[in-house]
Structure 1
Amino acid sequence: MPTEPTDMLIAAAEALAAPLPQTPSGTVLVGYGTEEELIRYAVTPGWAVHVPGHPGEVRQVVADAMAREGRAYVHVSARANSAAHALTGGFELVREGLDGVVIAVGPTLDPVLRATVGTDLAVLYTATIRPFDEVGLRTAVLAAHHADVVLVEPCRPGASASYVAQTLVHVPHRLLALGGAESMGEEEIARAVRDFVR
């Protein structure tokens, strides 16, 4: 069951209200459900951009960002995954597969996992889109039989498409960018993925 949106906001408020670290803290901005704002920071150099998919991840990314120097934008979604994941700042391999790679960003993970049941697709998860984990993506794509990549983000299509293209510039590949995934149902995602992969 998805977590109520208020749980995501409460998690952000609690993390922001926590005592500041003794070392210099970073600048942290939190936005709620504002795709335009997410896109703006995603294309602005010098910002780390996080899209946590669970209240536990919200607390972690806010606390980590406040403990570091630099600037971070945290996008809090109206949806949440059923479970938190340990965040490393890069891609986590959630499901193995050889027919291609699906990237699920933040709260799109649960719908993506349901939409790809029965396929032989690798599913990568991340709550951090900037910096972009080039090594993690390249490793997963080279391990697959087909260099087919499906990018599922909770914002307009293609927000991270250029980063995928740059990462795989020397790897012949195909890319399907799905956006607005907060309003897309798993059946729509499943249909798009099924029509795309070989």
Structure 2
Amino acid sequence: MRSDMLLAAVDALPLPGCEEVRPDAKVLIGFGAPEELARFAARPGWNVYVPGHAAEVRQAVLAATARGEQAYVHVPAESNAEPRPGATDGFALVREGAAGVVLAVGTTLDPVLRATAGLDLAVLYTAVVRPFDEVALRTAVLAADHADVVLVEPCPRGTSAHHIAGTLIHVPHRLLALGGPDGLDETELARAVREFMR
């Protein structure tokens, strides 16, 4: 486990009685357990954060406590090279492209960017998977020439696939869901994406 990711979670936890924390806030932190991440992602009423950098871990914990959320923050063993602004607010466009959309969650962003280099694909990034940012996904898919979506998550394959299907229920689309070890292996990612795209 990268110590900076773990330390960021610990440092961001507020002290008892802190005025910036809502009394109804309930924040649980999990360390590198993909199965737990999938379990909380399936629970109604929980906000689920999957930070890809130590700075995003801090943002997630501070935001959840300040807003009084019932939140699960998944702290992974890996880290992206740099944090992304707004990553804990929804889906952010990292790279423009017209041939399809790749949604990278948390620490999968750096491998996704390397694996899709040279491809005409839009890359969305997020460090929060619940609530699911339907508007940003739909906007990106409708802007592309093909409604092809690749979901890459650092948790069991397909954890958020039903949210994509629900978001695009009126948009004929194709979906490739990748997760677990294949979500972080750059070579496997590149092969899978190239085989899937038209």
1:34 alignment counterpart: 33
2:43 alignment counterpart: 44
TM-score when normalising by structure 1: 0.94
Corresponding residue SS for 2:180: coil
2:115 alignment counterpart: 115
Distance 2:19 2:70 in 1: 16
TM-score when normalising by structure 2: 0.94
The aligned amino acid for 1:55 is: A
The reply to whether residue 14 of structure 1 matches residue 11 of structure 2 is: yes
How much does 1:181 deviate?
4.3
In angstroms, what is the RMSD of aligned CA positions? 1.5
Gapped regions of structure 2 (runs ≥ 5): none
How much does 1:22 deviate?
4.4
- Give 1:87-166 correspondences, 5 Å limit: 87=86, 88-166=88-166
Alignment check: 8 A CA contact 1:153 1:181 kept: no
How much does 1:5 deviate?
1.1
Q: 1:104 to 1:158 in 2, by over 3 A?
A: same
1:63 alignment counterpart: 62
Q: Deviations over 1:42-85 (max 9, x none)?
A: 00000000000000000011011011123000000110000011
Distance 1:30 1:59 in 2: 12
Alignment check: 8 A CA contact 1:99 1:146 kept: yes
1:24 alignment counterpart: 22
Q: Deviations over 1:67-116 (max 9, x none)?
A: 11230000001100000111252110000000000000000000000000
How much does 1:21 deviate?
3.0
Q: 1:23 to 1:10 in 2, by over 3 A?
A: closer
- Aligned identity (percent) is 63
Query: Number of residue pairs matched?
Result: 195
Q: Deviations over 1:130-175 (max 9, x none)?
A: 0000000000000000000000000110000000000000000000
Q: 1:157 to 1:183 in 2, by over 3 A?
A: closer
Alignment check: 8 A CA contact 1:108 1:182 kept: no
Alignment check: 8 A CA contact 1:152 1:181 kept: no
Q: 1:159 to 1:101 in 2, by over 3 A?
A: same
Distance 1:102 1:161 in 2: 13
How much does 1:182 deviate?
7.1
Gapped regions of structure 1 (runs ≥ 5): none
The aligned amino acid for 1:24 is: R
How much does 1:18 deviate?
5.1
